[in-house]
């Protein structure tokens, strides 16, 4: 059984508690799913994380 602590931290910080999360690898900006470039720095390096 996994600890609920990480999920609580994400929720407290305004992030998604579960699901898919996309962010720019260069500057860390959260981007919409399917984005090809970061709206802040124009990098094409978009990371996708799956949160449980």
pLDDT value for 9: 60
Q: Please tell me the total number of residues recorded for the chain in this structure.
A: 52
* Whether the model pTM is above 0.85: no
pLDDT digits (tens, 9 = 90+) for 10-42: 666 666 556 888 999 999 999 998 999 999 999
What is the torsional sign of CA 10, 15, 19, 24? negative
C-alpha–C-alpha distance, residues 34 and 15, integer Å? 18
Q: Is residue 47 very low, low, confident or very high in pLDDT (cuts 50, 70, 90)? A: very high
pLDDT value for 45: 97
| Domain ranges for the chain | 5-51
């Amino acid at each position: 059984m996994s600890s609920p602590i990480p999920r609580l931290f994400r929720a407290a910080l305004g992030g998604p508690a579960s699901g898919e999360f996309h962010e720019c690898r260069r500057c860390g900006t959260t981007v919409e799913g399917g984005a090809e470039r970061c709206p802040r720095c124009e990098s094409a390096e978009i990371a996708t994380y799956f949160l449980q």
